[in-house]
Amino acid sequence: MTAGAQRVPAPVADLQVHVWPTRQGIGELRGYGELFGNLLLRDLRSKYKRTALGWGWSMINPLAQVVVFTFVFRLIFRAAPPPGANGVDSFPVWLLCGLLAWNYFTIASNAGMRSLLDNASLVQKTYFPRALLIATTTVAQIVTLLIEMGILAMILLVVGIVPFLWLPGVLVVLALLACFVTGFSLVLAVTNVYFRDTSHLMGLVFQIWFYATPVIYPYRQLIEQAEGMPWLLWLYEANPMFQFVEGLRDLLYYQQVPGPASIAVMVVSGLGMLVIGWAVFLRFEPRLAEEL
Amino acid sequence: MTAAIEARDVHKDFRIYHEVNRSVKSAVMRRRRARFEQFEALKGVSFEVPQGSTFGLIGRNGSGKSTLLKCLARILRPEKGQIITRGRMAAMLELGSGFHPELSGRENVFLNASILGLSRREAEEKFDSIVEFAGIEKFIDSPVKNYSSGMYVRLGFSVAIHVEPDVLLVDEVLAVGDEQFQRKCAERFRALHESGRTIVLVSHSMREIREMCDQAVWLDSGVPRVVGPAEHVVREYLEEQDSAQAARTRVLRAGVEVFDGVDGTVLGDLAAGRPWTVRINADVADGTSEVTAHLEVVTGSGTVLVSDRRTLPVDDGGVAARVAMPPLPVLPGEYGVRVHVATADDPDHCVPANAFFLVDGGGRPESVLGGELTWDTGAEVPQSRAS
């Protein structure tokens, strides 16, 4: 007999009392930090398991996108973003400064949306706050994004932009973006459990959203084309992803602080989305195990 | 003695959706979510599990045992009522359910232990013991997807049992692995029990419940029927099972005959459009006061033309009924009368009887509606414009 089993249980008075169902809320998450870390490790470890290039893939994909988009939009469509800090004028670098944020948004939202279905067996057989599953996927993607950002910082150095002074600002924007994506994923994840069409629909939505956000073309060129259509520009700037993409580009490529309106949209949409996502998630969480 | 678990008036409803495809489109069309029916799986369950006891949950399939266990495990959230537990709780509902196939056994042990509530330090302390108990030292660093199903559940069981919770919930997972492993598991449960832990066990094996449990609850359609010492609850349950078996054979024989007109001759042929009669009789065992009879008229291809159900009183150990049938406006052919007789409290176990007869057309045209149509050939009927 193993020694551990002989441990005499604590007297009843000392045992922690649980009441179920608990009131839902942020307090539920207390004490689950370690599980969060373990789930995160699981996501990160299993991501590139059994691939020869491993984490190299997380950089190869955006680089391939840069090659394709530079060819199509720079060489064929003659997209010409204004030159950046220190007179640097490089379409690929300009592109990368916005593309990484966009990629994070779509990859993390998609993974977050699927996280409940992918982990159905966990949800149906074990108890822990289910929001952890969504949070781990969006945070795991942040790790990838930070690695990519590190490489981007080196590229910036090579072309002659010293990004270090601006990195705190970049981190703040990334944190707000992560809040936005997590809130968005919380909504998508429960919606996807109740309506399995969601993931198919979102494929389409993300595609339209991508072209509606000036990631691969300069916003300046749109302003020139949109003469007499102020509503179009108003619509563009109301798009939170527009502000995140442009904000990061401002900080990294142009080395300027985004305008106050942009900062306001980022803060409100980042924190607001997180609150909305959390509220929607709590509303649908109680039945998740049976609806899966 | 203090209770390790107190369930107070626990209610759990499930939704049964009527459409398979729950799509956004259909939701938008109806402007709300998919239509559903409420099904009450637990209808107010209350009981106490004393600290240090082994507690059995028994009942037929669909009686709510597993639902109750999942509510205790906090996987399902009861609509009403409260469950109070004292101490660390771990559930063994499906062994290895948290395993990630691509990760190694080692990585999965730590992940699974963490899901079950062990800290990293505790998991490290128990790691060797976990691996040894599962007997997979050689494979602990290969991905679990390469494990045999036996290795998989042994590792899952080993992690769960090493959590050494104050309250352990077990859903029919004792029958894992080979005989030797099962013996090890049983020993381990005994050790947990002896060290004062509380175990809640769902099982269909009355032998297991008798051997392992002190107390038990018998759930019947979401309501606790008997709560008390395991031996007593099991005996009550088995007695009821026996009498339910007996109820199934309470209808001894059923018969059906078809007559022309009101008790004319026994039917071979029936002219379409004539009234006719069905007589039902059955022999019933003593002690049954009424039966239900379900009567159907069917075509040769199985289409049901008439269907009716009645509860009939038993008189002197038998049942007899005469049913006046409406004229059948049907095509010539072979038809059947089908009767199912069952006791009122157990409609699923019935005794069938059949009778067949032919319908001839009675000189009428060979169509269902028959009749004469009005044909007009006057000059005012427009010519077809086909050219």
Listing from the earlier edge strand, what are the strands of the sheet with B54-58?
A: B89-92, B167-171, B198-202, B54-58, B215-220, B223-229
Are B70 and A9 an interchain contact pair (Cβ–Cβ within 8 Å)? no
Q: What residues contact residue A256 under an 8 Å CB cut-off, 6+ apart?
A: A250
Cα angle A289, A291, A292 (rounded to 5 degrees) comes to: 70
Q: Residue B276: enclosing H or E segment and its boundaries?
A: strand B276-284
Average pLDDT of the residues in B360-387: 67
Token code pair at residue B226:
């008997």
Contact residues, chain B, for A20 at CB < 8 Å: 71-72, 74, 77-78, 82-85
Asked if ipTM goes beyond 0.90, one says no
Q: What is the per-residue pLDDT across B65-98, written as a single tens digit (0 to 9) for each? A: 889 999 998 889 998 999 999 888 888 887 777 7
Average pLDDT of the residues in B10-25: 71
* Chain B residue with minimum CA distance to A2: B129
Are A125 and B94 an interchain contact pair (Cβ–Cβ within 8 Å)? yes
Rg (CA), chain A: 22
Look at residue B354 in the predicted model and tell me its pLDDT. Answer: 84
Assess whether the previous peptide bond of B329 is cis (omega < 30° from 0).
Answer: no
Contact residues, chain A, for B39 at CB < 8 Å: none
* Chain B residue with minimum CA distance to A194: B22
Whether pLDDT at B177 is above 50: yes
Domain annotation for chain B: domains and CATH numbers: 3-246 (3.40.50.300), 251-360 (2.70.50.60)
Cα(B312)–Cα(B319) distance, integer angstroms: 7
Q: What residues contact residue A257 under an 8 Å CB cut-off, 6+ apart?
A: A169, A250, A251
Higher per-residue confidence, B134 vs B300: B134
Would an 8 Å CB–CB cutoff place A204 in contact with chain B?
Answer: no
Q: What is the per-residue pLDDT across A122-143, written as a single tens digit (0 to 9) for each? A: 888 888 889 999 999 999 999 9
* Residue in B201, B288, B298 with CA at minimum distance from that of residue B256: B298
pLDDT band at B325 (very low <50, low <70, confident <90, very high): confident
Cα(B247)–Cα(B141) distance, integer angstroms: 57
CA dihedral A192, A194, A197, A201 (to 10 degrees): -50
Higher per-residue confidence, A31 vs B219: B219
Would an 8 Å CB–CB cutoff place A67 in contact with chain B?
Answer: no
CA distance A239 to chain B (A): 24
Of A12, A45, A127, the CB nearest to B86: A12
Pairs of CB atoms within 8 A across A/B = 140
Q: Is the dihedral of CA B155, B156, B161, B165 positive or negative?
A: positive
Average pLDDT of the residues in B48-52: 90
Higher per-residue confidence, B362 vs B206: B206
Are B102 and A46 an interchain contact pair (Cβ–Cβ within 8 Å)? yes
